[in-house]
């Protein structure tokens, strides 16, 4: 077996990249895991957590696998700095999967009336959550016209022994595939892969045109083909090295209450009528490890989602404006772009390209290359000193966005805003910056002027 979830966990336990902690004290799936993740984040820690004892369950739970960029980078065998480039390469050079006939994930096969989702340690994270959720499942589904397989993460609400409520954003690919099957009046077969190597997670979240091949991007990230195996009860091929696979189908035209659910925006999404997956089989490895991604506004969701998003924005914007230098998701639905502007109007071209790259984008800001976009104070300084709103801001009214934005209309209709915060007409012809001559800066040594230098450190804010 090539690189899979277990070899990743072993590697992390050995290297402790970003932190790795085994917890023996029993935890409850209701609120306790999310309390521990939340408290650690308050202390600015995102270690991989392995809960050995989970109340009422036999499976151990791991969380925070993709919460740290260094951890994801190590799993992909690149440095943290080279991570974006690696993802970009995988988008450019996907490697097709290979089918295998025997797979660890099918060591145990449970079918029919034996299926019991309640044996999985699904979680309840917040006081507002309407039920127990499976969050670390990659949903695989086939386009009925092309036969291509699409991958995405979708929250799944446990609704009894063999039923799951599923949320599919309107405008994203899984929803489009389900729509095609509804038009035919037929159920959509799906499989859910739980316990995945970071290459699978980042590849599954690849964003791009409808035909973008997520499974090939996983291979590109790994540097070798992903091994896939045929499901037992549905016509789909799934990662052979996953921990657990749920096989089933989503009936057309059936809608039931799903939610509320505390989302990554930090808000609880109200319950709504959403489709339902009926689970026909569960296959798993011997002694499966259950993976969870803590629901709500936590590092793991933000880290794993922004890595492929930023790589996609970068490649799409670069196609339109080669002068783009860097991009960064600064907040939900918010992108900052830096560029080396050569010609007037280019910042707007970059913004237009960004809005075409992903429907989730709501606010985008372009700054000059002298601004470090990781430093939001500098970005705000550019907004304060290089922008005139009537000239530099545009609004695209009532476009499609994410329905998870609580200020949007229910199905995600929203205004989009682009801000050109570059100096006009150019940085060179803009007001000069006030700087002390470099020669003097080099010559002056503070210890020659101030006794007891360096001074004891002081707070940076007044």
Ligand X SMILES: Cc1cc2nc3c(=O)[nH]c(=O)nc-3n(C[C@H](O)[C@H](O)[C@H](O)COP(=O)(O)O)c2cc1C
Interface residues toward ligand X, by CB under 6 A: 135, 150, 152-155, 167-169, 172-174, 205, 207, 293, 301, 304-305
CA distances from 41 to 37, 108, 155, 160, 371 (A): 6, 36, 22, 32, 28
Write down the least CB distance from residue 318 to ligand X, Å: 20
Integer Cα distance of 310 and 84 in angstroms: 8
Q: How far is CA 368 from CA 236, 312, 337, 433, in A?
A: 47, 20, 8, 14
Looking at the Cβ atoms of 111 and 297, the one nearer to ligand X is 297
Please say which residue, 355 or 379, places its beta carbon nearer to ligand X.
355
Q: Which is nearer to ligand X, 32 or 148 (CB)?
A: 148
Binding mask 172-191 for Mn ion (x = CB under 5 A): -x------------------
Nearest residue (CB) to ligand X, 206 versus 387: 206
* Shortest CB 217 distance to Mn ion, Å: 10
CB of 173 to ligand X, least distance (A): 3
Nearer to ligand X, 150 or 338 (CB): 150
Q: Which among 143-151, 283-291, 369-377, 454-462 is the span making contact with Mn ion, rule CB under 5 A?
A: 143-151
State the minimum distance, in angstroms, from the CB of residue 172 to ligand X. 4
Work out how close the CB of 148 gets to ligand X at its nearest, in angstroms, rounded to a whole number. 11
Residue number, 100 or 170, with CB nearest to ligand X = 170
CB of 166 to Mn ion, least distance (A): 16
Closest CA to 229 of 96, 94, 98, 139: 98
Part of the chain binding Mn ion (CB under 5 A), chosen from 12-20, 23-31, 147-155, 454-462: 147-155
- The region of 14-22, 149-157, 246-254, 423-431 touching Mn ion under the rule CB under 5 A is 149-157
Residue 201 Cβ, how far from ligand X at the closest point, in Å?
8
**Contact of residue 135 among ligand X, Mn ion, none (CB under 5-8 Å per partner type):** ligand X
Q: What is the closest distance, in whole angstroms, from the C-beta atom of residue 150 to Mn ion in the complex?
A: 4
Question: Residue 340 CB, nearest distance to ligand X (Å)?
Answer: 30
Interface region with Mn ion, contact rule CB under 5 A, candidates 45-53, 133-141, 145-153, 439-447: 145-153
Q: Which one, 104 or 248, has the nearer CB to ligand X?
A: 248
Q: How many residues bind Mn ion (CB under 5 A)?
A: 2
Q: Is 284 in the site for Mn ion (CB under 5 A)?
A: no
Could you give the C-alpha distances from 81 to 77, 78, 224, 307, 336, in angstroms and in order?
A: 12, 8, 22, 12, 18
Minimum CB distance to ligand X, residue 304 (Å)? 5
Nearer to Mn ion, 173 or 301 (CB): 173
Q: Is 150 in the site for Mn ion (CB under 5 A)?
A: yes
167's contact among ligand X, Mn ion, none, with CB below 5 to 8 A by partner kind, is: ligand X
**What residue 305 binds from Mn ion, ligand X, none (CB within 5 to 8 A, per partner kind)?**
ligand X
Nearer to ligand X, 79 or 92 (CB): 92
200 binds Mn ion (CB under 5 A): no
Q: Which does 291 bind (CB under 5 to 8 A by kind): Mn ion, ligand X, none?
A: none
Contact positions vs Mn ion (CB under 5 A): 150, 173
């Amino acid at each position: 077996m090539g690189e899979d979830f277990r070899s990743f966990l072993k590697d992390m336990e050995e290297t402790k990249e970003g932190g790795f902690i085994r917890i023996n004290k029993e935890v409850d799936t209701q609120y306790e895991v999310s309390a521990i993740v939340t408290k650690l984040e308050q202390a600015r820690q995102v270690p991989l957590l392995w809960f050995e004892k989970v109340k009422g369950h036999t499976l151990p739970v791991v969380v925070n696998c993709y919460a740290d960029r260094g951890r994801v980078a190590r799993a992909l065998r690149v440095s943290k700095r080279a991570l974006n480039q690696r993802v970009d390469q995988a988008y450019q050079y996907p490697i097709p999967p290979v089918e295998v006939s025997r797979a660890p994930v099918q060591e145990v096969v449970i079918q029919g009336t034996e299926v019991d989702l309640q044996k999985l340690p699904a979680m309840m994270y917040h006081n507002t959550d309407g039920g127990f959720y499976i969050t670390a499942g990659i949903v695989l589904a086939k386009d009925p016209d092309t036969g291509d397989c699409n991958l995405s993460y979708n929250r799944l609400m446990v609704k009894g022994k063999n039923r799951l409520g599923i949320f599919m954003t309107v405008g994203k690919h899984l929803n489009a595939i389900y729509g095609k099957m509804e038009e035919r009046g037929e159920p959509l077969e799906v499989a859910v892969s739980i316990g995945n190597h970071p290459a699978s997670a980042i590849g599954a979240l690849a964003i791009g045109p409808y035909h973008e091949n997520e499974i090939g991007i996983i291979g590109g990230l790994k540097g070798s083909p992903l091994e896939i195996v045929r499901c037992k009860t549905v016509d789909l091929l799934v990662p052979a090295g996953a921990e657990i696979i749920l096989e089933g189908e989503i009936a057309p035209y059936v809608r039931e209450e799903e939610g509320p659910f505390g989302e990554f925006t930090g808000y609880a999404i109200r319950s709504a009528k959403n489709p339902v997956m009926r689970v026909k089989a569960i296959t798993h490895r011997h002694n499966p490890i259950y993976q969870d991604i803590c629901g709500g506004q936590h590092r793991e969701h933000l880290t794993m989602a922004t890595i492929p998003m930023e790589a996609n924005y970068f490649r799409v914007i670069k196609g339109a404006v080669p002068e783009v230098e860097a991009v960064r998701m600064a907040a939900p639905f918010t992108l900052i772009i830096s560029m080396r502007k050569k010609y007037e109007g280019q910042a707007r071209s970059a913004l237009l390209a960004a809005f075409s790259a992903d429907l989730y984008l709501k606010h985008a800001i372009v700054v000059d290359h002298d601004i470090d976009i990781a430093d939001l104070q500098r970005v705000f300084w550019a907004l304060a000193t290089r922008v005139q709103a009537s000239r530099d801001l545009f609004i695209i009214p009532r476009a499609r966005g994410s329905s998870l934005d609580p200020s949007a209309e229910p199905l995600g209709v929203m205004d989009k805003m682009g801000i050109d915060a570059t100096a006009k007409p150019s940085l060179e012809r803009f007001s000069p910056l006030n700087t002390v001559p470099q020669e003097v800066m080099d010559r002056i040594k503070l210890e020659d002027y101030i006794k007891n230098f360096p001074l004891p450190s002081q707070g940076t804010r007044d």
